[in-house]
Chains A and B, each alone.
Chain A
């Protein structure tokens, strides 16, 4: 059993009620933070913890917080990214639905550390039913003196609001999210300036993922050093993995980073419970649709024969040629019956649909990749189409305003690199 922090109390019923949450020690971190720690001390603890952003990019959270500009007289904002739209990812939903107070407590601790008096949770529109769950948790926290004016008798004030989106993957990208929160189309902004300097309504803003913010609670509870003892190397702490596809036990699992091998994760009854229907594993997309797909041999072992572990470094080993990324932890499993070109089509269609259209390489390129893959899987492809796809993806990669371009390109490059035969089979 690996250590659990975020899902430690997952088996307890009615955890969404503040009394039950408090019985498990809930809100002691918020109290400790506000009553006994300074904002700077919390940022220090988060730095020491080695926590890295759980939204996909893995940027060190403490460092991000220390970049926040603090001009006098200008409000600062914390915005929680609950847009969760990366195919294969459903951990934030799981956490918010079952343990909303953990997020609210994390928001209180983080807002205090950043000096924010108003914070927003931006949640994807499809998760509408979670809005009342979060709002109830907010009201309960307010009734306990944990939100509003003079929190716990101090001079700290905080309001948290829940903001819904309306169906747009791109609004998970932090600057598109801020545009959307300002009531606009979700077009990513050019950086710099970064949100830490000019974010929501031009004010200094930190955007963090739900899981990142929830992780802050145990960092305050036990200290950054304790948190950093979990995990391996620069992959500290625990990570939620959303497991889906051809497995016996799809679901959300918490793993201590670097301690569970991919093979154990797929085969063990504690996690995925093996490939379904007694079939063999063909491929895994380990970190959400945007990361390179790998065949069984390379997802279980690195190219120099080491068992691949679930961590930022181990999954990344081998770079783009033989490795992949931890990403958002969206772990999609495919059995031996899957033609990888057919699966790729669903990704190509997705990125084309979700491109905001600002950059021509992304807008046009995703459309062409969808069309060409569609013709291949319907038996109208030519051999030269495979190289055309490779050429198209290379013309998007690195040439766009936001990383959606790369996210659309990498699945194509990796599917062809590792599964060219699947494309050729359909072309004949």
Chain B
């Protein structure tokens, strides 16, 4: 299958590239990789990375070395919903490990794995900058904060029913942060 952005994504990509001075278009790399990951099933295949390299007129290796450095880029396929749970100090102090254990039991996978039906991937992550509302998890752009077992169960149920793949570009419900 040929890898190519659709018209809207290509327009966004070109807008991003135009933010930088002439000859500095490589600066668009990280924003474009985010866009590509959201457009192409939540991960970056070699084909997708090569396509981004061609858009920026840089060598593929310049894309691979960046994609592999940053933890938000997935270099292998992930489930439809990538659940990222913070396990650093402030969250650990307020029950992050219980939350992770509960998610592992509920989804019948270990952190780092994907469910057999391909619906969920569970990932441990470092401090998400939301330590005051610990414990929490991020799914796409949305932070789910001040979690307890009941809240998590309800969120998983909603995500399970929704046919959509959450992405970092989603509009989020800011009321939930209040």
Seen from chain A, the residues whose Cβ lies within 8 Å of a Cβ on chain B are: 75, 84-90, 92-93, 97, 118, 124-129, 132, 161, 163-169, 180-186, 201, 242-246, 250-252, 285, 289, 330, 332, 334, 338, 343, 346-347, 349-350, 353-354, 356
Evaluate contact between B31 and A93: CB separation under 8 angstroms.
Answer: no
> How far, in Å, is A87 (CB) from chain B's closest CB?
4
Chain B hits for A183, CB < 8 A: 26-30, 56, 62, 66
Interface residues of B in 25-76 (CB under 8 A from A): 26-31, 33-34, 56, 62, 65-66, 69-73
Contact of B19 among A126, A161, A356 (CB under 8 A): A161
Evaluate contact between B70 and A168: CB separation under 8 angstroms.
Answer: yes
Contact of B132 among A163, A182, A251 (CB under 8 A): A251
Interface residues of B in 72-93 (CB under 8 A from A): 72-73, 87-90, 92-93
Interface presence of B174 (CB below 8 A):
yes
Given contacts A168-B69, A338-B93, 18 further A-B pairs with CB under 8 A are A87-B127, A89-B127, A90-B131, A124-B129, A126-B129, A129-B171, A129-B172, A164-B31, A165-B70, A167-B70, A167-B72, A167-B73, A168-B70, A182-B26, A183-B27, A346-B89, A350-B127, A356-B69
Kindly report which residue of chain A lies nearest to residue B68, judged by CB atoms.
A185
A166 to B125, CA, bound (A): 13
Evaluate contact between B27 and A182: CB separation under 8 angstroms.
Answer: yes
Chain A hits for B56, CB < 8 A: 183
Interface presence of B115 (CB below 8 A):
no
> How far, in Å, is B51 (CB) from chain A's closest CB?
16
| 17 A-B pairs whose Cβ atoms sit less than 8 Å apart in the complex | A124-B129, A129-B143, A129-B172, A163-B31, A166-B34, A167-B70, A168-B69, A183-B26, A250-B133, A251-B132, A289-B127, A332-B90, A332-B93, A343-B89, A347-B89, A350-B126, A353-B71
A330 to B130, CA, bound (A): 11
Evaluate contact between B93 and A334: CB separation under 8 angstroms.
Answer: yes
- Residue of A97, A126, A180, A353 ringed by the most chain B CB atoms within 10 A: A126
Interface presence of B138 (CB below 8 A):
yes
Evaluate contact between B34 and A126: CB separation under 8 angstroms.
Answer: no
Evaluate contact between B126 and A164: CB separation under 8 angstroms.
Answer: no
Evaluate contact between B130 and A169: CB separation under 8 angstroms.
Answer: no
Evaluate contact between B92 and A169: CB separation under 8 angstroms.
Answer: no
Evaluate contact between B70 and A166: CB separation under 8 angstroms.
Answer: yes
A124 to B72, CA, bound (A): 10
Evaluate contact between B133 and A87: CB separation under 8 angstroms.
Answer: no
> How far, in Å, is A245 (CB) from chain B's closest CB?
5
Evaluate contact between A164 and B131: CB separation under 8 angstroms.
Answer: no
> How far, in Å, is B90 (CB) from chain A's closest CB?
4
Interface presence of B5 (CB below 8 A):
no
Contact of A97 among B65, B142, B174 (CB under 8 A): B174
Evaluate contact between B130 and A90: CB separation under 8 angstroms.
Answer: yes
A338 to B169, CA, bound (A): 38
Chain B hits for A164, CB < 8 A: 30-31, 34
With contacts A168-B69, A201-B21, A347-B89 taken as known, whether A181 is within 8 angstroms of B27 at the C-beta atoms is: yes
User: Which 9 pairs, one residue from A and one from B, show the smallest C-beta to C-beta distance?
Assistant: A166-B70, A167-B71, A183-B29, A167-B72, A250-B132, A244-B131, A183-B26, A244-B90, A87-B127
Chain A hits for B116, CB < 8 A: none
> How far, in Å, is B140 (CB) from chain A's closest CB?
8
> How far, in Å, is B78 (CB) from chain A's closest CB?
14
Chain A hits for B155, CB < 8 A: none
Kindly report which residue of chain A lies nearest to residue B87, judged by CB atoms.
A346
Chain A hits for B129, CB < 8 A: 84-85, 89-90, 92-93, 124, 126-127
A88 to B94, CA, bound (A): 13
With contacts A125-B70, A129-B142 taken as known, whether A88 is within 8 angstroms of B89 at the C-beta atoms is: yes
With contacts A244-B90, A285-B89 taken as known, whether A185 is within 8 angstroms of B65 at the C-beta atoms is: yes
